[in-house]
Structure 1
Amino acid sequence: MAAQLTDDELSAALSGDPSGFSAVYSVISPAVLGYFRARGVDDAEALTQDVFVDVLPKLSNVRGGHSGLRTFIFSVAHARLVDYHRRSARTPHFTEFDPLEDHRRSSSAEDEVLGSMGGITSALATLNDDQREVLVLRIVADLSVEQVAGIMDKTPGAIKQLQRRGLIALRELVKEKDHAAS
């Protein structure tokens, strides 16, 4: 489980204290960044920053304690992701930069880690959009069924079914790859 805010840090953030917002950012931004990376955002760091720039002036209106704060932040993140995909659909596609063709530098540790995530991203790509969204919000963002239901505007039962079906599909994919490798 990810790090948690203390009650004092949460109170400070909700009252507008900069140190409280700093604590909120430190604790929750890695999960938001992971959410964007898992959903294939090409500049996940910038989108994460945008989320927290949007969240800062609205913190005093957040209700529901720790859970309410996480739900609010991931609601903003989800909205930013939807905007990102809409904007991407309207933007012309350019030839992608291929780091394997660029011999000006060697790969960094970050490149190695992000390269190993390709298998996860391709496995998630086999799911339908709702199943993928539920799994990323539940596992990467560490949100409860109820929080995900609120973000996706679905019932908790529907979220549970989407999660179950997504996990079954991933299990079958792993079995197929293991069978093919044998």
Structure 2
Amino acid sequence: MGQRGEPGRVQAYDGELGAAVARAQEGDETAFAIAYRLVQPGLLGYLRGLVGNDAEDVASDAWLEIARDLRRFRGDGAGFRGWTATIARHRALDHLRRQKTRPRPAALEQDLLDLPGPHSTHDQALETLSTEAALALVRGLPRDQAEAVLLRVVVGLDGPAAARVLGKRPGAVRTATYRGLKRLARQLGVDGVTDDAPRTLGEST
């Protein structure tokens, strides 16, 4: 379904996305439609993890702001994905505030991470993240883990870009992603998830 849940897909489109954004900034409506098509699947998956069934409405609000402020954007395709994710996150938090619902606070976590092992099978769990059931599982994670997993895996941002969206240090996002993926893998029945350096979409095994 789009690029969501398809390893190697999201980042492969960054060149095409960057070119489309540049043309859209000059007023090319077709180019803007291309940028939308490339970004929307991951953005919608991210929002579904934050606001559930209200994701479509929040995404619409986000795209209105993206279109309005497009000429202010400076950067490449990967940067555009990060910029749009930041806007979408702000709109999601606004939506949650309007609903008088606060995002779930992070649960108390273990002080020490398990020592990493030589192998990783967490990518088996990631393959299922294109399903609504898996996104529901993501929503059940502590909020810091859920957002880190959604940004790294569903939106396809690298660690530093995800950290900028969340206003956190890359190391904190890396840790939250690892813990979230490990918990998801256990829930999905995948054993042997021991890698403490989760790969983003498109990175080699």
Length-normalised TM-score, structure 2: 0.66
Match of 2:132 in 1: 117
Task: Report SS of the residue matched to 1:163.
Answer: helix
Match of 2:181 in 1: 167
Task: Report SS of the residue matched to 2:53.
Answer: coil
State yes or no: 1:82 paired with 2:93: yes
Q: Is the 8 A contact 1:55 1:76 kept in 2?
A: yes
RMSD, aligned CA: 2.2
Match of 1:179 in 2: none
Task: Report SS of the residue matched to 1:154.
Answer: coil
State yes or no: 1:10 paired with 2:21: yes
Task: Look up the equivalent residue of 2:156 and give its one-letter code.
Answer: D
Match of 2:31 in 1: 20
d(CA) in 2 for partners of 1:11, 1:45: 26
Which string of whole-angstrom CA distances, capped at 9 and with x for unpartnered residues, describes residues 41-65 of structure 1? 3232222121111111211111121
Q: Is the 8 A contact 1:9 1:24 kept in 2?
A: yes
d(CA) in 2 for partners of 1:47, 1:175: 32
Task: Report SS of the residue matched to 1:89.
Answer: coil
Distance 1:158 1:70, change over 3 A: same
d(CA) in 2 for partners of 1:46, 1:160: 30
| Among 123, 146, 153, the residue aligned to 1:139 | 153
Q: Is the 8 A contact 1:55 1:73 kept in 2?
A: yes
Distance 1:156 1:44, change over 3 A: same
Question: Equivalent pairs: percent with the same residue?
Answer: 27
d(CA) in 2 for partners of 1:152, 1:170: 21
Larger Rg, first or second structure (1 or 2): 1
Task: Look up the equivalent residue of 1:147 and give its one-letter code.
Answer: A
Which string of whole-angstrom CA distances, capped at 9 and with x for unpartnered residues, describes residues 130-153 of structure 1? 001110111111111111100000
Deviation at 1:14, TM superposition (A): 2.4
Which string of whole-angstrom CA distances, capped at 9 and with x for unpartnered residues, describes residues 28-83 of structure 1? 11211121223343232222121111111211111121122111111000101111
| Among 129, 141, 148, the residue aligned to 1:127 | 141
Distance 1:7 1:70, change over 3 A: closer
Name which of structure 1's ranges 66-75 and 15-24 shifts more when overlaid on structure 2: 15-24
State yes or no: 1:53 paired with 2:78: no
Distance 1:72 1:133, change over 3 A: same
Name which of structure 1's ranges 79-88 and 121-130 shifts more when overlaid on structure 2: 121-130
Question: Whose RCO is larger (CA < 8 A, sep 6+)?
Answer: 2
Match of 1:112 in 2: none
